Amino acid sequence: VTGTHGALVLGAAQLGQAYGNGPDRNPPSAETVAHLLHQAARLGITEVDTARAYGESEQVVGVAAEDLPGLRIVTKVRPLDPGATRADEVVRAVTGSVAESVRTLRRQVLDTVLLHRTDDLRVADGVAGDVLERLVAQGTARRWGVSIATPDDLLFVLDRPGVHYVQLPFNLLDRRWLAPEVSASLAARPDVRVVVRSALLQGLVASTDTARWPTFPDVDAVRMVGSIGEAVTTLGRADRVDLALAYVLAHPWVDAIVAGVRRVDQLTALAAAVTRPVLTANEITVVHRLVPAGPADLIDPSRWQRPAVRNSHDRDPQGLR
Ligand SMILES: NC(=O)c1ccc[n+]([C@@H]2O[C@H](COP(=O)([O-])OP(=O)(O)OC[C@H]3O[C@@H](n4cnc5c(N)ncnc54)[C@H](OP(=O)(O)O)[C@@H]3O)[C@@H](O)[C@H]2O)c1
């Protein structure tokens, strides 16, 4: 089985704010963003993922995608106050965030609107979902869903029949999603699009640079980087990016990968990788044998310590990375 360019969604978190653990965290220029989006469209990529909470991301995507009406836009509601109890406040917050997105993205109709956190569907008895359902009925968005973090989140959000999209973090170090209830619950909901973020774990899995790795007592970066290289060689894959994407896309419940880029060469490499054969079941087993499972702190970038603050873009008050 080989993938297609449709299996790749362009992640826009790094297009509007400083991002990640690499040596260069700066967002690209407006010209580069325009170039990236047009190149993505030429490569057959039809979806871009942004959020109200990604700094200037919606703004730069809105401008760059103005002459790309075929590029579908997925955005996320600004995270809600976790202590909110009043339904009218939640209704106002969700409605206001989506209205700002529509204006900033310069689109009459958004393809998909996601709640940024599973907890946003818990406050005030889940009224945020009712608001999004109404916006879909009114034609402001084609569908709504939730950006989730854990398999428990998945089971919770799939209980809402109105949910037709989930985004979740999965990669070859993250074995939580291999639990049978994940594939079983998704098999029962073929109407839900599943898009995987963090397939490269913010670039860690793609790089031999151990300086990118966050420091945790139970994480041996040199050993991890070495073991991923060994899996690339053993399975005859082109490189680490190819292995990482072929691993994720080999899971039948995955519809697409949302990957973040800041440069055109990164996009070209990702687009090439998603057209190569995905791993077989035996090859997945080989990965599990060679590459240790990442501990909880490693597979959740919101738990990483960030490099020292360098400029005004360089803050993450809501831990959305
Ligand atoms: N819902 C949420 O809470 C949430 C949270 C995070 C992200 N997201 C979404 O998911 C998208 C992807 O997540 P992510 O960016 O954190 O993880 P990712 O896609 O696993 O990693 C992206 C990073 O990998 C590196 N990279 C990209 N292409 C590469 C290539 N061809 N070769 C080598 N390295 C490459 C880049 O880092 P360098 O440029 O530093 O090398 C890039 O910033 C985001 O853009 C955003 O849209 C959502």
Under the banding of pLDDT at 50, 70 and 90, the label for residue 278 is very high
Q: Does ligand 1 have an atom closer than 6 angstroms to the CB of 266?
A: yes
Residue 200 Cα, ligand 1 centroid: separation in angstroms?
7
Atom of ligand 1 nearest to the CA of 57: 47
Global pTM exceeds 0.75 = yes
The answer to whether 110 touches 143, Cβ cutoff 8 Å, is no
The answer to whether 21 touches 204, Cβ cutoff 8 Å, is yes
* Tens-place pLDDT, residues 137-153: 999 999 999 999 999 99
Atom of ligand 1 nearest to the CA of 21: 40
Under the banding of pLDDT at 50, 70 and 90, the label for residue 305 is confident
Helix (H), strand (E) counts: the chain: 11, 8
Task: To the nearest 10°, report the CA torsion of 153, 156, 160, 162.
Answer: 10
Atom of ligand 1 nearest to the CA of 263: 39
Residue 260 Cα, ligand 1 centroid: separation in angstroms?
3
Most ligand 1 atoms within 8 A of CB, residue of 37, 202, 268 to mutate: 202
* Tens-place pLDDT, residues 106-120: 999 999 999 999 999
Higher pLDDT, 71 or 316: 71
